[in-house]
Amino acid sequence: MRSATPKVLHRLGGRSMLGHALAAAEGVGPQRVAVVVRHEREKVAAHALEVLPSALLVDQDDVPGTGRAVQCALDALDAKAFAQSVADGVPVGEEGRGAGDGLVGSVVVIAGDVPLLDGDTIGALLDAHHSGGNAVTVLTTEVPDSTGYGRIVRDEATGDVLRIVEHKDASAQEREIREINTSIYAFDAAALRDGLGKVGRDNAQGEVYLPDVLALAREAGGSVRAVLADDPMTVEGVNDRAQLATLGAELNRRVLARWMAAGVTVVDPATTWVDVGVELAEDVTIHPGTQLHGATTIARGAVVGPDTTLTDMEIGEEASVVRTHGSLSVIGAGASVGPFAYLRPGTVLGTNGKIGTFVETKNAEIGEGSKVPHLSYVGDATIGEHTNIGAASVTVNYDGVRKHRTVIGSHARTGADNMFVAPVRVGDGAYTGAGSVIRRDVPAGALAVSAGAQRIIDGWVTKRRPGTPAAEAAEAASGSDRSAALGRQAQVEEAGRTSATEAERPTPPPPSPGVPHLGGPSQHAADNEGPRS
């Protein structure tokens, strides 16, 4: 793979190749699963136990070959079986071994780099193995080009398998065979044990070949047969990045086909990627450019995408998530998210809530019916029910050392461009004015404002920034055509200024009772002549 990552830990469909192999093995309900490790032992062993904590880890020694790998595994399984026999009270002989010594029954051997193999395919192999009373049953398939694969040599009269010949050891006639070995077998434990004890290393690679056991089992009088897999992709292995991409695309195609058959609408399967661990309900709609990863679950009637990536998310019924990147978060039923939202871990959006355009959330609980419509950051916060957060608001949660929490109650209305400097609380039904910095707790039902009166210093740019493009533009606008260049609100203010010089202008009256303007700058000048705090 030309990678610092061990081959079997490369991922497709949300799992490592080893994870796919373990899932397939678990699909037939085995008594025990053994994982043979050698290259990059620590990484592979740790991942195997993460995926399947009950796995028996087996170290292969320096003797190369698949046969040696299986022999090491069988020795470990025999030891476990013997220990269990002793624990169960089976008599032990003079040499320390008893009648219960060693593994009995069927041993299935699979490779760690066959990611599309599934429990159903292994189950069919085992069924054929048991019904035929075989010593060995090998899973095979046919391919147009068998270069590099082990060839299946059959008895022309019975169809039984005579032997498996590796490509480098095959004759010219044997290289014409299109039926190949998939490296997936079912063995009788006794036949496997006996055959492994006789296998040598007399081959082009100098390895202990597991396929050599088949010929030895046949010589010992056992039946050796094959089960042909109709779909070569199911049993195809991965040896490079190109094959990984090919099988990843095929796996995704199969996953999408399964969900579409179950009632999910996938508008464009070519641009939609869904991991094997994702769960989708009926009548979910997935739009183009969507990627669903990990343990994401999407409930009935929800619409996701386009251009959305969700990892380990929970999406409620009838929710809508558009052009959003999210992870480890929960979206309630009927809620809407996006476009262009970023949901970081710990976000919980209540039923019928809204997280809108260019909003980032993290570790935030947003109650039922509450809205954060646009251009805001809500981190380390709790927002009650049916509250509206004004545009361009920020919960200022970090003091340079620790994170602090903002709590905003239910039915609150916060103005645009608010900074909530945590830790701070805003009570139920409270209002805050536009442009306010909320540093102290706001009681329920109160109005909090912190913006001062607007000041205008005429001529500041031409005096303090002479020679700049801004100063030149200001000087050009100061001529006879200045009024024509001004907007309506600015013209009104200009007319007021020309009626008196700054020295003669009367002192403005003190603030009068009333509700200050909470909106943005799009109001008329008369709206801005109200009370100030």
pLDDT of residue 516 exceeding 50, the answer is no
Read off the tokens for 415: 């103005």
Pairing of strands 161-165, 151-154: antiparallel
pLDDT band at 2 (very low <50, low <70, confident <90, very high): very high
pLDDT (average), residues 477-498: 58
Question: Sign of the CA dihedral 520, 526, 527, 531?
Answer: positive
- Tell me if residue 225 falls in helix, strand or coil: strand
pLDDT digits (tens, 9 = 90+) for 217-245: 999 999 999 999 999 999 999 999 999 99
Dmax (CA) of the chain: 119
pLDDT tops 90 at residue 454? no
Instruction: Assess whether 47 carries a catalytic annotation.
Output: no
- Reported as a pLDDT band with limits 50, 70 and 90, residue 82 is confident
pLDDT at residue 135, rounded to an integer: 97
Confidence category of residue 27, pLDDT binned at 50, 70, 90: very high
List alpha helices for 8-132, DSSP H: 17-26, 41-51, 66-87, 119-132
Indicate the average pLDDT of the chain: 89
Confidence of residue 166 (pLDDT cuts 50, 70, 90): confident
Active-site residue, selected from the candidate residues 20, 293, 374, 517: 374
For 175-185, write each residue's pLDDT tens digit.
Answer: 999 999 999 99
One-letter amino acid of 525:
A
Angstrom CA distances, 391 to 394, 456, 512, stand at: 9, 25, 28
DSSP three-state, residue 93? coil
What would the mean pLDDT of 244-266 be, rounded to a whole number? Answer: 98
Strands (E), 294-401: 297-298, 303-304, 309-311, 314-315, 320-321, 324-327, 330-331, 336-337, 341-343, 348-349, 354-366, 371-383, 394-396
Mean pLDDT along residues 329-342: 98
